[in-house]
Chains A and B, each alone.
Chain A
Amino acid sequence: MSEFFHMGGHGIFIWPAYLIAAAVLVGILTHSIITLRQRERQLETLRRERRGAADEDET
């Protein structure tokens, strides 16, 4: 098991490579989903307000 992490002495280069790659990709994915949720919520709020204002105008 420790041999697996040690990777013949090169583990100090191999694991950071994989971890940094994972961190960058997960970071991009997370940021994209969070931004999407924020914008869709904002859009829904704006539409509800406009619908509310339109209903007021009609009555």
Chain B
Amino acid sequence: MHRFANPNRFLRLGRAVLPWSAGLTVLCLAAGLYLALFVSPPDYQQLETVRIMYVHVPSAWMALFVYSSMAIASATALIWKHPLADLIAKASAPVGAGFTLICLVTGSLWGKPMWGTWWVWDARLTSVLILFFLYLGYIALNNAFDDPTRGAKASAVLALVGAVNLPIIKFSVDWWNTLHQPASVTRLDAPAVHSSMLWPLLLMALGFTLFYVTVLIFRVRSEIAAAKIRNIQLIEARE
């Protein structure tokens, strides 16, 4: 049972952090939504559709951030065999898939009025769609084995192999001729976005990040409980 000595520390930490992350999530999203929908100005070219940006861009950032977290957790699990790392990666996957789905759907809803099309197979959109399939593949592979340890190892390898997609997504708008616009915020020089738009953008991004932390605490607690249930069932099967 020594493998589950660490999870108690996580459970204690999670219990302490949860009310803060949940409360701050609500505050950041409330402030971000208020600025996004009521205060921020319409764009001189895109008019009101620019408001979709305040959901589309933060969800895209989260899609990449959550996958990066999964890749790091998977590497930690494979190299150091830390029992919690597998659970963190497994718990993160559906959240990341959700953010990727939001990114793709809101992107289409933005593209139709602005570009005249719901979809185009340019480098950015295609690589983000691949990211979505990687998330689904990770979830499927993780659940494909009777022995959860084997499922965890297989999906950890997939997460690491798929990580090559992350720089491809990030630099797709620079390396290829894409319909999707280039970076305006995450660049080496200063963001090219006015503060009236930057603030709601950053607040929504922070709100989404805190949402991920909150949901992750619930989901990892859930995975720890599931592992304890499996342990008891294995012991009883042997008795």
Instruction: List A residues at the B interface (Cβ < 8 Å).
Output: 7-8, 10-11, 13-14, 16-18, 20-21, 24-25, 27-29, 32-33, 35-36, 39-40, 42-43, 46-47, 50
Of all chain A residues, the one with the shortest Cβ separation from B36 is: A18
Which B residues between 135 and 150 are near A, CB-CB below 8 angstroms? none
Query: Is the C-beta of B15 less than 8 angstroms from some C-beta in chain A?
Result: no
Of all chain B residues, the one with the shortest Cβ separation from A18 is: B55
Q: Which residues of B contact A13 (CB under 8 A)?
A: 49, 52, 109-110, 112-113
Q: Which residues of A contact B94 (CB under 8 A)?
A: 28
Does A46 contact B232, Cβ atoms closer than 8 Å? yes
Query: Is the C-beta of B228 less than 8 angstroms from some C-beta in chain A?
Result: yes
Total contacts A-B at CB 8 Å = 84
Query: Is the C-beta of B190 less than 8 angstroms from some C-beta in chain A?
Result: no
A8 to B52 alpha-carbon distance, docked (Å): 14
| Overall SS of chain B's interface | helix
The size bracket of the interface on B is 35 or more
A26 to B35 alpha-carbon distance, docked (Å): 21
Q: Which residues of A contact B101 (CB under 8 A)?
A: 24
Of all chain B residues, the one with the shortest Cβ separation from A46 is: B232
A32-B218, A43-B229, A46-B232 are contacts. A17–B55 as well, Cβ < 8 Å? yes
Q: Which residues of B contact A25 (CB under 8 A)?
A: 98, 102, 211
A8-B48, A21-B59, A32-B215 known; 6 other A-B pairs, CB under 8 Å? A14-B49, A17-B52, A21-B102, A27-B98, A28-B98, A43-B225
A28-B95, A43-B228 are contacts. A20–B106 as well, Cβ < 8 Å? yes
Q: Output the least CB separation between A17 and chain B (Å).
A: 4
What sequence of 0s and 1s flags, for each residue 90-119 of chain B, a beta carbon within 8 Å of any chain A beta carbon? 000011001001100110011011000000
Q: Which residues of B contact A21 (CB under 8 A)?
A: 55, 59, 102, 105-106
Of all chain A residues, the one with the shortest Cβ separation from B38 is: A4
Query: Is the C-beta of B42 less than 8 angstroms from some C-beta in chain A?
Result: yes
A10 to B51 alpha-carbon distance, docked (Å): 10
